[in-house]
Structure 1
Amino acid sequence: MTTNTENGELPLPTPAALVRKNFADTVLSSLATLGRALRMGTQAVGVGVTDALRVRFQVNETLNQAWFLIKVTAVPSVLMAIPFGVIVSAQVGNIVAQLGADSMIGAAGGLGVIKQGAPMATAMLLGGAGAAAIAADLGARTVREEVDALRVMGVDPVQRLVVPRIAAMMLVAPLLNILIIFVGIASGFVAAVTAMDVTPGSYWQSFGSFTTPVDVWVSLIKASLFGFLVVVIACQRGLEATGGPRGVADGVNAAVVMSIAAVVVLNTAITQVVTMFLPVRMA
């Protein structure tokens, strides 16, 4: 702390103290935002289950939102999966070739795409394109006071706006994950056969020897969890937008950054748990 004893003023904080304070405030604010998002997500799940049991679930709105998400993520997912599969095969192939185990490229590349690449690519696409679109839509509705109008009319915004978007995201995330797995493995196979002189038979034999249905199910579950986390953060930031267009833009930016950061942390935790209880073994 620096002081100004001549004028008898209060001590002034040092730059290091200001940095620490700002960092602590940012972390606490982010955790509080994540907590509010998860609470809203829990409420939306309860409302959605109740609506489904009472046969009043918004199926049309859910399908419309799902189709919108597919339109904005399908082509980018293919464009992302192709180079990802090639890069994984090339990097893994170079290491494996030095060990004299070229036949294991299929297993290493396939498992890399299924267990890590596809779920993370799905989360990034949904967090970048899907979350941005959802946060912008709900943020615009909020600053135009449409959400307040729904509350005045006795309509729950979570039931009307959030539940269909969560259901759509939970529907699209596994489908997008499957698409990325297929394209990534296919592109990795082409790269291994054409550039690294791996025979097609050995590639698929090693892939089938180490890849199990459990790996695919874990990948689909991870994609679904990531999709749920992305959509609840996007909805929460959109419904809390304030300050006009600038507030909507800040909400969109925060939704993308927070969703990707939360997905990375969650993926690390899930990977550790899965590796502990489901180690890689021959099928």
Structure 2
Amino acid sequence: MATEFADSAAATAPPPTLRQTISRNFFDTIVSALRTFGRAVDVANQSVTGACTDLVRGQFQWREALLQAWRLVTVTAIPAVLIAIPFGVIVSVQIGNLIHTLGADSLVGAAGGLGVIKQGAPMATGFLLGGAGAAAIAADLGARTIREEIDALNTMGINPIHRLVIPRMAAMLLVAPLLNILIIFVGVLAGYAVAITGQGVTPGSYWATFGSFTQVADIWMSLLKAVIFGFLVVVIACQRGLEAKGGPRGVADGVNAAVVLSVVAIVVVNLVLTQVTAMFLPVRLA
């Protein structure tokens, strides 16, 4: 009787207004995002503590980590070169034209080099790892999840974090700074070639100003950014892959979510790191 009364009351209740619907959807989205963020933090915490534990116990899977690192290199090395060349050229041309207007052509090397080192290289590294790297990791783990391999590992008492996530995290943290160095090298050389051939800058003045303004701390900060971006990418990709469901469509959705979330996270974190760097490591003449 009570059930019938409740059903009749629900049937006669007025439909929700547009404002109520939007508010409920917005609230549900915020709650879902916070829960997803919490699960990602949990994956990151388990991965870091598990890696330290495996190293202390001598159970770290070096072979699997190196294999995953090689796979990341094969999907990101050539695109890194192809991105670094036009990026170095664009930075050199745009900044060179501005500096030429101000009559300070000798500063092209400093401006172009700092642009590549402090912003271009870590951002390009993060986007490559967040694109090709995140897609590969999320697709691999997502396929394992829908094939119930993850459930099988749990049934056998094998922690998927130790078996699958930690080696990929180590591989990403190894490849990220190497990829960053490659992009810096190619980007600076591309900017140098454009400066001396198309903008009339002498090689001596280019490298002199580059060495005067570029500090070792700038390179270390660029490498640190790349490592942080790689850590964010691998945590997001692993979390989305391990939570894939719904068959092949679920794997595709997980891959798309991993790529999008990685790019957004990289942009937001880079903004914060740039502000902190500007406060504590301002550009100055060495």
Residue 204 of structure 1 is matched in structure 2 by: 207
Residue 36 of structure 1 is matched in structure 2 by 39
Distance in structure 1 (CA, Å) of the matches to 2:211 and 2:242: 46
Offset of residue 36 of structure 1: 1.3
SS of 1:12's partner is coil
Q: Hey, what's the Cα distance between the residues in 2 that align with 1:77 and 1:27? A: 35
Per-residue Cα deviation, 1:212-259 (whole angstroms, up to 9, x for no partner): 000000000000000000000000000000000000000000000001
Give yes or no for the alignment of 1:91 onto 2:94.
yes
**Aligned counterpart, 2:5:** none
Q: Give the equivalent residue in structure 2 for 1:105.
A: 108
**1:152 matches 2:167:** no
Partner of 1:232: 235
The residue that corresponds to 1:3 in the other structure is none
Amino acid at match of 2:163: R
Deviations 1:144-189 (A, max 9, x none): 0000000000000000000000000000000000000000000000
Letter in 1 for 2:224: I
Counterpart secondary structure, 1:281: coil
Aligned to 2:256: 253
Q: Which structure: larger Rg?
A: 2
TM-score by length of 2: 0.93
Between the aligned residues of both structures, percent identity stands at 65
* Structure 1: gaps spanning 5 or more residues: 1-6
Distance 2:282 2:20 in 1: 45
Aligned alpha-carbon RMSD (Å) = 1.4
Following TM superposition, by how much is the alpha carbon of 1:65 offset from its aligned partner in structure 2, in angstroms?
A: 0.1
The yes-or-no answer on 1:13 pairing with 2:20 is: no
Number of the residue aligned with 2:54: 51
Q: SS where residue 14 of structure 2 aligns?
A: strand
For the residues of structure 2 that align with 1:129 and 1:136, how far apart are their CA atoms? 11
Q: How many angstroms does 1:11 deviate by?
A: 4.1
- Change beyond 3 A, Cα 1:114–1:24: farther
Alpha-carbon separation, structure 1, partners of 2:30 and 2:93: 38
Aligned AA (1:113): V
TM-score (norm 1): 0.94
Alignment CA distance shift 1:200-1:44 (3 Å): same
User: What does 1:260-275 align with in structure 2 at a 5 Å threshold?
Assistant: 260-275=263-278
Distance in structure 2 (CA, Å) of the matches to 1:180 and 1:196: 22
CA contact (8 A) 1:34 1:233 kept: no
Q: Where does residue 195 of structure 1 map in the other structure?
A: 198
Q: 1:66 touches 1:172 (CA, 8 Å); kept in 2?
A: yes
Partner Cα distance (2:127, 2:44) in 1: 20
